[in-house]
Amino acid sequence: MLTDRFARRFTYLRLSLTERCNFRCTYCLPEGNDCDTAESDLNIHEVRRLLTAFARLGTRKVRLTGGEPALRRDLGEIIGLCKSIPGIEKVALTTNGYNLQKEISGWKKAGLDALNISVDSLDPTIFSRITGADRLHYILQGIDQALQLNFQKVKLNTVLLRQHNTHSLPGFLRFIKDRPVSLRFIELMRTNDNIDFYQEQHLSGEFIRHQLMEDGWQLQPKTATDGPALEYAHPDYAGRVGLIMPYSKDFCASCNRLRVSSKGELFLCLFADEHQSLRELLQSDDPAPVEAFLQRAIGGKEESHHLHQQRSGQTRHLAMIGG
Ligand code: SAM
Ligand code: SF4
């Protein structure tokens, strides 16, 4: 079991499959993909070795992310691989949904359990202004298709932006009235590339929390394996609302996740000052050196990120490590 100095247990791995992306979200990659080529991404054998070692140390859930993970042609194969690794119980994917309709049933067949789709606005014009992609209609149809396929969980991720989301709550609530999705509002995080944008657009999630409480939404109890999100439910709604507020007090106390980049670098925190490369150790089928590396590295995990001191570590943008 991977446990740190603060008795936090790490059972959840977020694995980035590529830094590449086909969207240009204003808060993430406004100039588009400035990242690596497909050749630098971990190959499927390296992914298998990595996951085997993590699973032997207690990892039970894997989230595949990016960049845009659906740009990987072997994504279905990787999902199947994750499912086949002894110990891995849940495989989740975070995607911008650009290819959702076409791919979703294949991913489900490969063994995908849960799906997060980023939807920053339900207004097609605003959506394409934020993402650079005129594709909202298609993505929403893909979400309905995913709901018909009975995934364990379908979540929508919405980044809170002052310019666009101050008045968007009623529209989002209408959307989840009859849809059993968990809509998660994520506070914009400062990265090294978005400092000015962050100053202009950061919006605390507190106003949403107040509004939900006033309207009779109830905070749901957390289980031991739940991460830092708060989740609210209401008897009149099929869906739930989650809040991810990394700037709130004690956000890091319930951290249960580690991250590996598409180049095989271990990030102990989304905003870590350094990362450590595992790639050389992934060239052999022996999991023991990878396990020893992880056991040693976990001792260096800090108690909290330093976003409050305006420090984002080495993180230029979240496409580097998948959010
Ligand atoms: N491309 C996929 C997508 O957009 O869903 C997966 C990678 S993306 C980096 C993962 C999540 O991080 C998305 O929901 C995205 O909206 C969120 N994100 C990216 N940059 C962010 C930032 N600076 N602050 C808060 N959330 C961010
Ligand atoms: Fe691409 Fe996701 Fe970043 Fe948007 S948030 S630019 S879709 S990696």
Domain with 246, as residue range(s), is 12-320
35 annotated among ligand-binding-site residues: no
98 C-beta closer than 6 A to ligand 2 = no
In a domain, 168, yes or no: yes
Q: Using the structure block, give the residue that is written with the tokens 């990892």.
A: 59
Decide: 1 and 58 in contact? Cβ < 8 Å: yes
190 annotated among ligand-binding-site residues: no
21 C-beta closer than 6 A to ligand 2 = yes
Contacts of range 81-84, beta carbons closer than 8 Å, 24 or more positions apart? 81/44, 81/47, 81/48, 81/51, 82/51, 82/111, 83/110, 83/111
In a domain, 1, yes or no: no
In a domain, 6, yes or no: no
Most ligand 2 atoms within 8 A of CB, residue of 16, 19, 26, 29 to mutate: 29
Distance between Cα 317 and ligand 1 center (Å): 9
- DSSP tag of 120: S
Tokens for 304?
Answer: 């909290």
Q: What is the pLDDT of residue 96?
A: 97
The pTM score is 0.94
In a domain, 4, yes or no: no
In a domain, 228, yes or no: yes
In a domain, 173, yes or no: yes
Number of domains, the chain: 1
Decide: 307 and 247 in contact? Cβ < 8 Å: yes
Q: Using the structure block, give the residue that is written with the tokens 């994750």.
A: 82
Q: What is the pLDDT of residue 119?
A: 98
In a domain, 313, yes or no: yes
Measured from CB, residues less than 6 Å from any atom of ligand 1 are 21, 27-28, 65-66, 68, 94-96, 118, 157, 159, 186, 188-189, 191, 194, 318-319, 322-323
Angle between helices 100-110 and 75-84 (to 10 degrees): 20
Angle between helices 124-131 and 136-148 (to 10 degrees): 100
Low-confidence residues of the chain: pLDDT under 70: 34-36, 224-225, 249, 306-307, 311-312
Q: What is the pLDDT of residue 35?
A: 61
Q: State the CATH number of the domain containing residue 38.
A: 3.20.20.70
107 C-beta closer than 6 A to ligand 2 = no
In a domain, 248, yes or no: yes
Distance between Cα 93 and ligand 2 center (Å): 14
Distance between Cα 65 and ligand 2 center (Å): 10
